[in-house]
Amino acid sequence: MTGVTAPVTTAREGEPPGEGLVLDVRGLRMRYGSTDVLNGVDFVARPGEVVALLGPNGAGKTTTIEILEGFRMRSAGDVSVLGVDPAHGDENWRARVGVVLQSWRDHGKWRVRELLAHLGMYYGPYSTDKITRPWDADELIDAVGLTEHAQKKIKQLSGGQRRRLDVAIGIVGRPELLFLDEPTAGFDPEARREFHELVHRLSDEASTTIMLTTHDLDEAEKLADRILILAGGKIIADGSADELSRRMSTEAEIKWTRDGQRFVHSTTESTRYVHELFKQHGDAIGDLEVHRASLEDTYMALVREAESGQGDAVLREFAEITEVGTEAGA
Ligand SMILES: Nc1ncnc2c1ncn2[C@@H]1O[C@H](COP(=O)(O)OP(=O)(O)OP(=O)(O)O)[C@@H](O)[C@H]1O
């Protein structure tokens, strides 16, 4: 196994489940028929964290989220969500958990404001000293960028506007924990940016803990405090985007041209190498670029490693020196 696979935030052995944690998942298993989809998943989330769950199609992201939401029974393992086993969550627990569903298409005749005000009423009894429920309908509509469409019938909304409404419905009860399964699929760039701002606001101002799935690595990097990569039925990486990239490879790729020829060299000592290059060739060096591994490089290498079961071989390939020409002695 590689250094990056050691989860840095897994609950400590012997620690009681859920203590100070919003999510505490240990040894989670899920079997459909004779197929094991989740094969010992471990991770935690702390209050106010934004955690992105990444993984290839069919890795089990939706399955994991549905188990945490209490919509699917797990095969085995210990799961604590806001200190409660989601398999036995009562109404009080459910009021503290926000889920973004896509099932509101059936309510096409309802108007946006009317539906949000109506659904919000159910959360009133679950207000606490710290959290006033529900979210005021007009403020909420403004927060998700639907003010112009507040009086429209749901069936008149575009796909992206409906998705914003789905998000509004998910947060109308001011949840302490919010699950977002591919929240920006189908969003245009502006809607995506506005949504990212909303996620930042929810986590910064309301200390909402957010768990989201996405296939957009750029989105994960922008939004998440921590990234979990699920592949082969397990969490194979757990850390910030920066931590994952740095632990994956300390090498940088240096590209340059000289006398019309292109050169590429990988090294762990990029500064010294570049210094040496200029010392030897001075102004003859052009088009200099220095690249570190991106989150996408890291993700691809880790998933390929997990899927092929080849262990270190893929990592070596990833970090291999792709030298086309050697200029300096570094
Ligand atoms: N109800 C079910 N019965 C049997 N198999 C299922 C069921 N639900 C999901 N699966 C299978 O479990 C695996 C994981 O599915 P899941 O939807 O959790 O993956 P995912 O990571 O969310 O995928 P995607 O990125 O494509 O949305 C898939 O192989 C899927 O076919």
In this structure, what token pair is assigned to residue 267?
A: 């090294």
* End residue of a domain, out of 203, 227, 243: 243
Measured CA distances, 296 to 54, 251, 302 (Å): 11, 15, 10
Q: Distance (Å, rounded) from C-alpha 187 to C-alpha 163?
A: 8
> Is residue 22 situated within a structural domain?
yes
Q: Are residues 172 and 265 in the same domain?
A: no
Nearest CA to ligand 1 atom 9: 63
Beta-sheet pairing, 226-231 with 50-54? parallel
* End residue of a domain, out of 243, 268, 301: 243
Q: Are residues 29 and 173 in the same domain?
A: yes
CATH number of the domain bearing residue 152: 3.40.50.300
> Is residue 329 situated within a structural domain?
no
Q: Are residues 65 and 109 in the same domain?
A: yes
> Is residue 145 situated within a structural domain?
yes
Rg (CA), the chain: 24
**Cβ 34 under 6 angstroms from ligand 1:** no
Atom of ligand 1 nearest to the CA of 230: 21
> Is residue 254 situated within a structural domain?
yes
Q: Are residues 208 and 275 in the same domain?
A: no
Q: 9 pLDDT exceeds 50?
A: no
Q: 259 pLDDT exceeds 80?
A: yes
Q: Are residues 232 and 263 in the same domain?
A: no
Q: Are residues 253 and 225 in the same domain?
A: no
Domain containing 47 equals: 3-243
> Is residue 330 situated within a structural domain?
no
Q: 188 pLDDT exceeds 80?
A: yes
Judge whether 51 and 8 are in contact, CB under 8 Å: no
pLDDT digits (tens, 9 = 90+) for 76-129: 999 999 999 999 999 999 999 999 876 556 677 899 999 999 999 999 999 988
Atom of ligand 1 nearest to the CA of 65: 18
Q: Are residues 221 and 299 in the same domain?
A: no
Average pLDDT over residues 39-53: 95
Average pLDDT over residues 293-299: 82
Q: pLDDT-derived band of residue 288, with 50, 70 and 90 as boundaries?
A: very high
Q: Of 197, 320, 208, nearest to 265 (Cα)?
A: 320
**Cβ 233 under 6 angstroms from ligand 1:** no
Among 6-15, 57-66, 160-169, 192-201, top mean pLDDT goes to 57-66
Q: Are residues 119 and 257 in the same domain?
A: no
Which residues lie below 8 Å from residue 249, measured CB to CB, with a gap of 6+? 292, 293, 297, 298, 318, 319
* End residue of a domain, out of 175, 209, 243: 243
Number of domains in the chain: 2
Give the predicted TM-score (pTM) of the model: 0.80
**Cβ 231 under 6 angstroms from ligand 1:** no
> Is residue 269 situated within a structural domain?
yes
pLDDT digits (tens, 9 = 90+) for 202-233: 898 888 999 999 988 889 999 999 999 999 99
Q: Are residues 52 and 108 in the same domain?
A: yes
Q: Are residues 167 and 270 in the same domain?
A: no
Instruction: Give me the interface pTM, i.e. the ipTM.
Output: 0.98
Q: Are residues 192 and 51 in the same domain?
A: yes
> Is residue 36 situated within a structural domain?
yes
Q: Are residues 45 and 128 in the same domain?
A: yes
Angle CA 218–38–170, to nearest 5? 55
Mean pLDDT of the chain: 84
**Cβ 329 under 6 angstroms from ligand 1:** no
In the reported structure, the alpha carbon of residue 314 is separated from the centroid of ligand 1 by a whole-number distance in angstroms of 26
Nearest CA to ligand 1 atom 7: 32
Average pLDDT over residues 158-175: 89
Beta-sheet pairing, 97-99 with 177-181? parallel
> Is residue 325 situated within a structural domain?
no
